A = this chain, B = another copy of it.
Amino acid sequence: MALKHKTPMLEELEKGPWPSFVADIRRMAARKPMCEDLLGLLELSYEQKEGHWKHGGIVGVFGYGGGVIGRYCDRPDLFPNVAHFHTLRVNQPASKFYSTEQLRKICDMWEEKGSGLTNMHGSTGDMVLLGTTTDQLEPVFYHLTHELGMDLGGSGSNLRTPSCCIGKARCEWSCLDTQEITYDLTMTYQDELHRPMFPYKFKFKTSGCPNDCVAAIARADCSIIGTWRDKIRIDQEAVRAYAAGELVPNGGSHGTAKRALDIQKEVVDLCPTGCMEWDGKTLKIWDEDCTRCMHCINVMPRALRPGQDTGATILFGAKAPILEGAQLSSVVIPFMKMEPPYDEFKELIEKVWDWWMENGKNRERLGELIQRFGMKAFLEAIEVQPDPRMIKTPRYNPYIFYDPADVPGGWEHDPKAFRERHHA
């Protein structure tokens, strides 16, 4: 079908084996002028190598301070149908299972009230409804809440939509009910999610084990990562079966053919702590030295399993580069049991937020505030004792801010006595 705008460059993106977003949008464009203008605008960007969207301005639904990203085109003269092109972030169900019934309802609604285009999903985890006009925001919200049992996710200086890995729903390694934790936090903190009250955004992400399939440690102000305190469970029979080539190593990740696994080379020698021994018959793990990196379990999923005294390591502070440079999350609670209603965890989080809200500058992420005030101030505020598990190495500079309470006489000198002892 011929479209209003010529898009020769975009057409190049209809070629090739990977599913083409251009071909997909084009089929919508036949019935949606918004999509037609979007393609035209995008072609213009391809020609000029510059984007054509302006800043958002304040659009949203009544009573919420987030969930909508306003967007206006800077060439409404050429592309009037995308003059407004706002996005709604819809809070996804934890771990992103859907019934087709629910999906179809969403599609119908969004074809009617929006562009018919989505992101499945946004990087934070939301279902992203991409592009509608200001007058449609309230109707979409009404429809979401009344017909679909759905609500908006976060944007702006508030709690962002929490997300998680698939966890116990289909993974044998999960040490946490990742969905339950995510759902509970999302529900408990609806107000924080919808009404900006923080210095900046705040993200929770929960992974069931240290493989961290939701990239929590890199992308969440609070990263909740499953782990265990007891021993790795070993099935020695299965270990031998791997060695004998009766089982496929690494669950088939490196080829699905059976082959004899060289346990010494591929498992023991790659263990970061060197805490394993293999004598050709029995695999010994010195669990007290294991740092639960998951490698051996990943390679022999039928022989090794995480322990059963499970819980979470809680880390804080990950973020993208703006302002002070990117950060990964840092260990703050080496181990915490995670059982509903998660009171211990919530008490902790609320202390964290209180401190951040009290001290954080505008647009200062938690990780940056910890940098600025120091880990000590943070730990004191949240009433957590220092632990060597929080650090890679102790300080190597001698610039220690000693606590005056530990010093006889605190910060005071007796200048007169000093000058009696030491003549100037």
Contact = CB atoms under 8 A, between A and B. Distances in A.
Contact of A397 (B48, B325, B396, B423): B325
B48 A326 contact: no
A31 interface: no
Q: Which 5 A-B pairs have the closest CB atoms?
A: A74-B422, A325-B397, A74-B423, A321-B398, A48-B421
A77 interface: yes
Contact of A75 (B48, B399, B423): B423
A399 B50 contact: no
A52 interface: yes
B75 A422 contact: yes
A273 to B, nearest CB: 15
Interface string A411-424: 00000000001111
Interface string A118-132: 000000000000000
B397 A50 contact: no
A396 B75 contact: no
Contacts of A397: 321, 325-326
A399 B48 contact: no
Contact of A422 (B50, B399, B423): B50
Nearest to A396: B326
B325 A50 contact: no
Nearest to A53: B422
Interface of A: 48, 50, 52, 54, 74-77, 321, 325-326, 396-399, 421-424
Given A75-B423, A422-B74, A423-B74, A321 B52 contact: no
Contacts of A321: 397-399
Contacts of A50: 421-422
Nearest to A397: B325
A54 B421 CA distance: 12
Nearest to A50: B421
Q: How many copies does the complex hold?
A: 2
Nearest to A324: B397
Nearest to A421: B48
B325 A423 contact: no
A45 B321 CA distance: 51
A77 B398 contact: no
A396 B328 CA distance: 12
Nearest to A323: B399
6 contacts: A48-B421, A74-B422, A74-B424, A321-B397, A321-B399, A326-B396
A302 to B, nearest CB: 30
Given A75-B423, A325-B399, 15 more contacts: A48-B421, A50-B421, A50-B422, A52-B422, A54-B424, A74-B422, A74-B424, A76-B423, A77-B423, A321-B397, A321-B398, A321-B399, A325-B397, A326-B396, A326-B397
Contacts of A422: 50, 52, 74-75
Contacts of A326: 396-397
A259 B399 CA distance: 46
Contacts of A77: 423
Contacts of A52: 422
A142 B105 CA distance: 100
A321 B396 CA distance: 10
Contacts of A421: 48, 50
A50 B77 CA distance: 80
A71 B48 CA distance: 72
Contacts of A423: 74-77
A399 B421 CA distance: 53
A345 B116 CA distance: 68
A113 to B, nearest CB: 27
